[in-house]
Chain A
Amino acid sequence: MGKVKKKLFLGDQAIAQGAIDAGISGVYAYPGTPSTEITEYIQDSQNARSKGSARSSEAAENSGAEGGKIFCRWCTNEKTAMEAALGSSFAGKRALVCMKHVGLNVCADAFVNSAVTGVNGGLVVLVADDPSMHSSQNEQDSRFYGKFALIPTLEPSTQQEAYDMMRYAFDFSERLGEPVLIRLVTRLAHSRSVVELSDRRGQNPLHYPKNPMDFVLLPAIAKRRYATLCDLQATICEEAEHSGFNRMPDPVDMAQAGENRHWEKGVIACGIAFNYLSEAYPEGFPFPVLKLSQYPVPVHAVRRLAELSDEITVIEDGQPFVEEQLRGILPIKTRIKGRLSGELPRTGELNPDNVRVALGLKPAEIYDKCELVVGRPPALCQGCGHRDVYAALNEVLKEYPNAKVFGDIGCYTLGALPPYRAISSCVDMGASVTMAKGAADAGQFPSVAVIGDSTFTHSGITGLLDAVNSKSNIVIIISDNLTTAMTGGQDSAGTGRLESICKGIGVEQEHVRVVVPLPKNMPEITGIIRDEINYKGVSVIIPRRECIQTAKRKAKNK
């Protein structure tokens, strides 16, 4: 046997290497914190097929020697990613699709229906949740989606487990003929630890589903497939009951417990929560614990725990997914504690400190907070083109006290903060265009949208078509920095084609305006904004200047 290979990996990198070693043929994703590093790792690995990113060379792309390499080019959005992954699975290959939690909303249609069609090659949907909203608009818990779609869900607690789960998830997916959902949280995605690697296996050959009609979800077939999916639930539950990822470590005072074997307290710790629990009890647990990393909730294991203890505290990151279900599983006499009962905070991520408090342990003696310390919110970089866009927009809108600017998701969302205070909304990818349109429908004037180039191609294009079709009186500013900047500078799907996309959708040629956002061009930019506000129809203004972070990186690598 060779030496065991060990690597220091972020949770995201452990997932990526796990997927490579499990024999995937493709990774499909749109960048989103905290999931971005998974696809980036695969792109940077030796196993990458033409990545189509700034880092790849034309030569490599055209060499044709790509057999056995992994497809890893960024997708336009999570829906196109999910569907492409399903297509790859249809063709017999293993595919990984990754996204942040809100990306699962974008691809929910494809995701839920992929459970109805079932899969051929293994299909793993990796979703990185962001409890505490470090870089997100909500803290929705993707485990609900797994339950909703009736598919197995895994939740690793360590980087090693994240790595190991990939092989298991692809195997299980192929054995079951269903996609498998893996849920990460920020603190695992972005934390490093040493991971021991296993051998790598090859990719699947191209092969088609035994029954290709399964993928044709006409009602008659969908009914049959849905019934099959429901029949599979017993197998999926049984697998969770016996999963090696779910464990019940013995309490330390087992010997003292004697005949009775009964404790006041019992704990269910889901995913990363198990680490915080272990932190609080370095010598071992003085009560029974169920470590939960594979769902559906294993009913028998939970009942065994309840037989050993009077009350059960559920420690789970995100929403009270398990805590809510326990009510239907356990007798009324068992007290259930967690986020719903108030022992843990209802919102925000878990940490070693709030877990201690929930378990009734004394908080540590600590230094008081220093009163001098003030908040340091993030801000647009000095020299960023978005700054010039907002400066110009604010200058013009001084003349229109009723003006409203609808924002979107990206660095430019920071335009909501001082000194600009320029936008009135930030909801979901692409919503700036459609909210501006809806407000204009309702009589709002001027109605302005500010959206980035990558967000526009992700989900703004269809909204623009709606606006053109209803001749809405809106001004859309596509602030084009030629990259997906917020997540670290990934390729933007429409670079070089934004004008032709807008014109193709039907925006009048003379109302697609391009400017360079620089302080010296301020009169030109404000002039264009003024003109387009006065035009009664759909205008698109494209201020275009390279992201200064990208520009700096390029200069450094020269």
Chain B
Amino acid sequence: MKKDIILCGVGGQGILSIATVIGEAAMANGLHIKQAEVHGMSQRGGDVQSNLRISDGPINSDLIPEGKADLIISMEPMEALRYLPFLGKDGWVISSSVPFINIPNYPDPEKLVQCIDSLPHSVLIDIDTIAKENKIPRSANMVLLGASLDTLGIEYEKIKEAVTKIFGSKGEEVVAANIMAMELGRAKANIK
């Protein structure tokens, strides 16, 4: 088992929480992990990404080579496409469909959608609306994680345990909201 995952978005969107959950679940499964993050200047509204590698064997590079990512999980559609050269030919793109527009030259969102839809394996999901409609607005990133669950190669139960462990200190309500968010995302993505 080996999964190379690029998590991406805009600084402040909460991609590191997704990484923490997957990392915790992988560790509980006895898998090897490497996870490279971006700290510092780009966290101020710039593009951010994290390279998460999990495997049942030892992992060498902290960075994912080009063309090797099994999965791009993105909080933002243009950011998903930024890492296209890293995506393997059979890889999945699971992305929020909601553009985060903080630059004057943001491309036509319609075209971004077309581009992502044209990939062999992709899911675009309006995580913000799902989170808001279900009154869990702070769990949008967990909706996205849910959408990626069936491509991760880690048992759902293990992911749930990780969420319970990580968010446990914030109370049962937060844990329940995050688990609900994941299940909504998983159902919406409907990956068989």
Residues of A within 8 A of B (CB): 8, 10, 33-34, 36-37, 134-135, 187-188, 190-194, 272, 275-276, 278-279, 282, 351-353, 356, 363-370, 372-381, 411, 414, 486-488
A376 close to B47 (CB less than 8 A): yes
Task: List residues of chain A with CB within 8 A of the CB of B43.
Answer: 378
Task: List residues of chain A with CB within 8 A of the CB of B33.
Answer: 8, 192-194
B76-115 near A? 1/0 per residue, CB < 8 Å:
0011011011110100000000000011011110011001
B84 close to A379 (CB less than 8 A): no
Complex CA distance for A374 and B99, rounded to whole angstroms = 13
> Which A residue sits closest to B43, measured CB to CB?
A378
A134 close to B41 (CB less than 8 A): yes
Complex CA distance for A191 and B34, rounded to whole angstroms = 7
A190 close to B39 (CB less than 8 A): yes
Of the residues A37, A366, A370, contact of B66 by C-beta under 8 Å: A366
B23 close to A276 (CB less than 8 A): no
B38 at the interface (CB under 8 A from A): yes
A368 close to B84 (CB less than 8 A): yes
B116 to chain A, nearest CB (A): 9
B37 close to A377 (CB less than 8 A): no
Task: List residues of chain A with CB within 8 A of the CB of B45.
Answer: 376, 378-379, 381
Known interface pairs A374-B103, A381-B45; A187-B68 also in contact (CB < 8 Å): no
> Which B residue sits closest to A159, measured CB to CB?
B34
> Which B residue sits closest to A381, measured CB to CB?
B44
How many chain B residues touch the partner (CB < 8 A)?
A: 50
Task: List residues of chain B with CB within 8 A of the CB of A370.
Answer: 81-82, 84, 115
In the complex, identify which listed stretch (B57-65, B125-133, B153-161, B171-179) lies at the interface while the others stay far away.
B57-65
B38 close to A279 (CB less than 8 A): no
Complex CA distance for A190 and B51, rounded to whole angstroms = 11
A190-B38, A191-B35, A376-B79 given. 9 additional CB < 8 A pairs? A8-B33, A33-B41, A135-B42, A187-B63, A192-B37, A272-B62, A276-B61, A372-B112, A486-B40
Task: List residues of chain B with CB within 8 A of the CB of A187.
Answer: 36, 62-63
Of the residues A135, A188, A194, A365, contact of B40 by C-beta under 8 Å: A135
A522 to chain B, nearest CB (A): 23
> Which A residue sits closest to B31, measured CB to CB?
A194
Known interface pairs A194-B33, A374-B103; A367-B85 also in contact (CB < 8 Å): yes
Task: List residues of chain B with CB within 8 A of the CB of A379.
Answer: 44-46, 102
B62 close to A356 (CB less than 8 A): no
Task: List residues of chain A with CB within 8 A of the CB of B87.
Answer: 366-367
B85 close to A192 (CB less than 8 A): no
A280 to chain B, nearest CB (A): 8
A487 close to B63 (CB less than 8 A): no
Known interface pairs A194-B33, A366-B67; A374-B40 also in contact (CB < 8 Å): no
Known interface pairs A187-B62, A372-B78; A367-B84 also in contact (CB < 8 Å): yes
Complex CA distance for A379 and B82, rounded to whole angstroms = 19
B189 at the interface (CB under 8 A from A): no
Of the residues A276, A365, A380, contact of B60 by C-beta under 8 Å: A276
The A-contacting residues of B in range 137-188, CB under 8 angstroms, are: none
B67 close to A372 (CB less than 8 A): no
B37 close to A190 (CB less than 8 A): yes
Complex CA distance for A370 and B86, rounded to whole angstroms = 12
A344 to chain B, nearest CB (A): 15
Of the residues B41, B65, B82, B102, contact of A486 by C-beta under 8 Å: B41
> Which A residue sits closest to B61, measured CB to CB?
A279
B10 at the interface (CB under 8 A from A): yes
B12 to chain A, nearest CB (A): 9
